Structure 1
């Protein structure tokens, strides 16, 4: 049975919905943290550029939807430059009014306000995972090998039926799902393993084989394959604190997978062609939406984790860049010179634009656009 790809308008609508919701969640984290410390917000925008529509609340904040739906921002009172430093004109502001201005807040309060955005993205993902566990239960499989395929990576390493995997690639393995996650992102890479067999612990090295996969929509990707099967999975009912524990645990595991993948790309162990950009996210948004609301919401949680993690990277223009400069300010007991900060943020902006263009180029290449153009020109 052929799978019908979602139409362009539907895909764009679902992409806008995903980005809009996640940006709103992210910026709401900044907004609420700012309000908690008494900082006034001039505007809260979903999207950039020209305002399409909006309203002003009783606190004087302008809530608006803007034309370019690829991000958003909260503009606090007195935020006159990219480094959020007080301008010379602000020096004349009376002390009584400074308590509402972000730039005059203590360093620790500014750091919390900035960090609140990505933290809220992680909290959203944890909430989604917790809801899924509460509604559907938590799939759990003991990390015990029920069978080993001949000539597989596991067979070559000496893993046997009945072995219990204790540790793999430096990670504790509590569930068979943990094992799958580690193996999947380490295709062709040696992994140190600790196996329990007959009450004894054995150390060995396994190298997951590279398996080229294709999903139902025709997207290709590589994954590691160990060649073992686990016991029959069970749906464990979780309640109370256990729901939150496993939701947080799943979020941490996914974040560590992102970090591992990024390190592998930087060190050249994985191709940069595997990185996806906005077009890929748009494509997957439409595809996941066609598979039902649970799939779509779960996909949003995954993107939310990625958004939170990326924003914590120490790159100027991102929240992590602000936090990095705050750390320097804390060590020096004074901020860097405004010109230095402006140059840092301009460099960060250029880096982000370059990365966005590169990822978009990657996306177009994965769609076969350039091959198609070459064929037309040939």
Structure 2
């Protein structure tokens, strides 16, 4: 249960932060955000803000989305003959179109819709008491959809396609950008939680619980001066010395380690390294720099190193593709479950790495991903005119199809690896 809660928390935070980037810069670019949803599926709460955005919470606590006017398949479709109720202001202009039978307004005007234009001319036509009538629709009118969600209509001037190319580009980039920012902030928080940032320039160490050095009596803050015949002055020296000293070591054999305790006393200890994945480890980590700026800089450095690792892995995936190198929700749940068992430090590390991973992956120039949209924006900037909405929709649908097939394949592969 704890692992599931951690999974929901991490996945939810990553996606909501990502979508908030799109949301914020869409509004700054003049694009109407019709809905900002936390979660997926049927809604359980909705509130329409003064900015015209419907803020909803949906029943499945996995992810969320931003519904921008005119983007993708965001269309208001009313079938001929659909019953609706219209709310009119004093000037006879429609301010609310209710298509839902769940929210009945006794003061509204009933109509069976026969025609409408909610993007350009802003009119709605239909049968009212068997007489055909046409009413003007207010630019900021709302429409209650069949599932009860009330959103603003989407006139052409506030649609995604009519924002500047730079506005669209920053809107698309803002999601990954937020993930990079979140990953860096979580890494900085991690440095404070663990008391500092690893210092590879010193021979001062921290011991792992139950590790060989702890069993030999070494404590956090002690210094390792020598391993076997190799002198140690920093972390690189230490790792090289361990590899050299344990090269021909057999399981159960010990090595000599010269340690300087925090009180200045030096002593040679007999340490029995533990075997792990074909090599030997002595159970230590680099000492910590504990200054405020050390922690901040350390968090930034960790995020950069994490991004470098992910980019190398992505490059390797492209050159040597294998489903085993990918992980979907099942793999993410397994990692969350393991992190939950290990504690807060591992949870924060996982969240930071996944956030950076999400940001980098979304910048891959595949249609349906943010990188694909940015690529289209670059083409539009070069052409100095946007692609037609129809062409962009076809490209996006092709990308969605590819991503859907890949997601199904990855999830199936995760299930097979986990349970069979």
How many residue pairs match? The answer is: 289
1:354-365 mapped onto 2 (5 Å cutoff)? 354-365=405-416
1:64 counterpart SS class: strand
The residue number in structure 1 matching 2:20 is 28
The structure in which a higher percent of residues are helix is: 1
The residue number in structure 1 matching 2:198 is 139
The residue number in structure 1 matching 2:164 is 106
1:340-359 mapped onto 2 (5 Å cutoff)? 340-359=391-410
The question of 1:284 aligning with 2:335 is answered yes
Structure showing greater radius of gyration is 2
1:189-338 mapped onto 2 (5 Å cutoff)? 213=277, 233-240=286-293, 242-268=294-320, 271-338=322-389
CA RMSD across the alignment: 3.7
Question: Which among 86, 99, 121 is matched to residue 179 of structure 2?
Answer: 121
1:261 counterpart SS class: helix
The structural deviation recorded for 1:118 is 0.9
Task: Give, in whole Å, the separation in 2 of the partners of 1:352 and 1:297.
Answer: 28
Task: Give, in whole Å, the separation in 1 of the partners of 2:34 and 2:139.
Answer: 19
The structural deviation recorded for 1:247 is 2.3
Task: Give, in whole Å, the separation in 2 of the partners of 1:316 and 1:82.
Answer: 17
1:45 counterpart SS class: strand
1:60-99 mapped onto 2 (5 Å cutoff)? 60-79=52-71, 81=73, 90-92=119-121
The structure in which a higher percent of residues are strand is: 2
- What whole-Å deviation, never above 9, does each CA across 1:151-200 have from its counterpart, x for those lacking one? xxxxxxxxx967999xxxxxxxxx859x99xxxxxxxxxxxxxxxxxxxx
Task: Give, in whole Å, the separation in 2 of the partners of 1:232 and 1:68.
Answer: 40
The structural deviation recorded for 1:231 is 10
Q: Report if aligned partners of 1:44, 1:75 keep a CA contact under 8 Å in 2.
A: yes
Task: Give, in whole Å, the separation in 2 of the partners of 1:330 and 1:347.
Answer: 22
2:292 counterpart SS class: coil
Q: Report if aligned partners of 1:275, 1:362 keep a CA contact under 8 Å in 2.
A: no
Task: Give, in whole Å, the separation in 1 of the partners of 2:282 and 2:341.
Answer: 30
2:380 counterpart SS class: helix
The structural deviation recorded for 1:46 is 2.0
1:46 counterpart SS class: strand
Q: Report if aligned partners of 1:126, 1:247 keep a CA contact under 8 Å in 2.
A: yes
1:262 counterpart SS class: helix
Structure 2 spans left out of the alignment, 5+ residues? 76-116, 123-137, 141-154, 204-228, 241-274
TM norm structure 1: 0.66
Structure 1 spans left out of the alignment, 5+ residues? 1-8, 145-159, 166-174, 181-210, 214-223, 370-378
1:163-202 mapped onto 2 (5 Å cutoff)? 176=236
Q: Report if aligned partners of 1:82, 1:345 keep a CA contact under 8 Å in 2.
A: no
